[in-house]
Structure 1
Amino acid sequence: MNFNSVSNTPYNSFYNDNPYRQYGYAQMPEIAYQPVYNQPYQYMQEPPSQENPAKTLGLALFLQGISSGLERVSNWFATKLSAAKEFASHADVEKVANSMVTKNKLDVNVAYINENNKHLYSSIYGLGNALDPVAKGQNAFFVDKLKLAVAPESKPSLILHELGHAVNAKKGFTKLLQNTRRFAPFAPMALLFANRLSPNKQNGEKTFIERNAGLLGFAAFIPTIIEEGIASLRGIKAAKKVLNNPKNLNILKKNYAFALATYILSGVALGVASKQTILAEADK
Structure 2
Amino acid sequence: MKNHISVFISYAWNKQNKDFVDWLYTFLSDKNKVLEQKINVFMDRNSTRLGDDLNSFMTGTLINSDFVICLLDNEYLERMDMPGTGVFQEVNEIKKNKNNIQIIPIHVYGHDQPSGVFNKLKYITININNPDDNKNIDAYQQLLDKIFSNTDTVNMLKPKGYKCGIDNLIKKAFIQENRNFNPRLSGTSTINTAFNNGTFSFGSGQQLFTTMWTHASNNEVYSYNVQNSNSQRKQYLYVCTQKKYEDINNPLDVDVNECLYISWSPEKPFSNGTVLLWINEHKIMMVGKISDISKDSLKLTYKIL
Flag the structure with higher helix content. 1
Structure of higher CA gyration radius: 1
Q: Which has the higher strand share?
A: 2
TM-score of the superposition, structure 2-length normalised? 0.24
Structure having greater relative contact order (Cα 8 Å, sep ≥ 6): 1
TM-score, structure 1 length as denominator?
0.25
